[in-house]
Chains A and B, each alone.
Chain A
Amino acid sequence: MASDVRPSPPASSPHPLAPSPYVVRSQTTETGDTRTLVLSPADGGPVRPALPGQFNMVYVFGVGEAAISLSGDPSDSATVVHTVRDAGRITAAIAQATPGQTLGLRGPYGHGWPLEHAKGRDVVLIAGGLGLPPLRPVLYELLAHRAEYGRIEVIYGARSPKDLVYYDQIQQWRHRSDLRFQVTVDAADREWYGDVGLVTTRIPDTRVEAGNTVAFLCGPEIMMRFAARDLEARGISRASIWLSMERNMKCAVAVCGHCQFGPAFVCREGPVFRYDVVRDWLATREL
């Protein structure tokens, strides 16, 4: 195990493998295959406290469970929010859950974004595709304590305009004067007047003080690899760049080994890792 990999956080569920019943309160269609669910505990109690960047195991009874990042406002103690893409049998069942339906949740698990390192510094958030939901709690937190941070820049990329999640909320964020929120898509038709190109094309234009900046990245692994490289070229140190890794998480308690990434288990030491810790692992083929 690498020495810079963080130790395991304390178990947060009554029993690490026992799901608690949560009721779907609302479902919002984000894109053709992506839905946002708002859930609350079936017993009417508060939700378990969670940190931005952590994830829950979401269980559709009789179908199976999948690891889904928390994507709601961390200050909301009444509900849990998950944005889910229909990418297979289990995530399809989660995404199609309807209001009133009961799902099982266990968690939260893993290490979240190190917001303590962002205090007093400029912050760059880079999200690709469904990488925005795990970063949205960070943005809620930054904006709730705006004076404690320097410049905030968000770069969000998607395959096409119709693949953008949180569209209306992004419009509101883009109108804020204390936040620069750039959106770019890989390709577009003529209805789109925004930027077209990879998220990496927006990095040279970031207006941050590189030596006093932290960057949080979430999205396809290849995007994060190129983005981290370009952030380094922009002058941001490897130790100030953090990535949220995705692996096949099954047990979420570092027992089954499905999410092993080099010497680490993503469910326990991640999903958020410091770039200088994982940089060599990212470059290792078939790891």
Chain B
Amino acid sequence: MSGVPGGQPPRKVPLRLADHPFFQGLDPELTAEAGRLAVERRFATGEWLVRDGDPAASFYLVYHGKVALEVATAEKPHLTIQTVGPGEVLGWSWLVSPYLWRLDARALKPTQVLAIDGARFREALAAHPERGYQFLLRLLPILAQRLENTQIQLLDIHGL
């Protein structure tokens, strides 16, 4: 429900990459490399994580909070098309040239993430193609699911 912005503040314990579902079961070397490129970040309610058109320098693993993915149209300048919460991953523009964000992402409540340097992680994936392939196999089902969700949203099933 709409409720009020805010909520419980994020915990102040260090975030561990291995605790995030996205990295669980992946090659330990790959996880360690991502860990070396990860920076913990906190966002206050209403703060932007990414803006449409900005360089997609990182991708985010969400541990606490909630993030709204927004697109802007002439009629609806702030249309939320999806929310991303704990255990989910935000962003793949860092993998796709020209590496620019294609939407806005805004914290709906205090949000805690690990931000992983996209450019350097791309290099790490390219240097070890087997790990890179494993990583893409982990990412692909998420992309496929979101594509399917988008298709269903386009059907406007509640209006059928």
Contact = CB atoms under 8 A, between A and B. Distances in A.
A220 B157 contact: yes
Contacts of A167: 1
Nearest to A181: B1
Given A159-B159, A189-B78, A190-B78, 10 more contacts: A183-B1, A186-B158, A192-B2, A192-B80, A194-B2, A194-B3, A197-B149, A198-B152, A222-B160, A223-B157
A56 B87 CA distance: 44
Interface string A168-208: 00110010000000011011111111111110110001000
A187 B160 contact: no
Contacts of A192: 2, 80
28 contacts: A128-B158, A129-B157, A158-B158, A159-B159, A161-B2, A163-B158, A167-B1, A187-B80, A188-B80, A189-B80, A190-B80, A192-B80, A193-B108, A194-B1, A194-B2, A196-B81, A197-B83, A198-B149, A198-B153, A201-B82, A205-B87, A220-B157, A222-B155, A222-B157, A222-B160, A223-B152, A223-B157, A226-B148
Nearest to A198: B149
Interface residues of A, number: 33
Query: Main SS of the interface on chain A?
Result: mixed
Interface residues of B, number: 29
B90 to A, nearest CB: 13
Given A161-B2, A193-B4, A194-B1, A200 B158 contact: no
Given A129-B158, A222-B152, A226-B152, A196 B82 contact: yes
Contact of A196 (B3, B83, B160): B83
Given A174-B1, A193-B4, A220 B149 contact: no
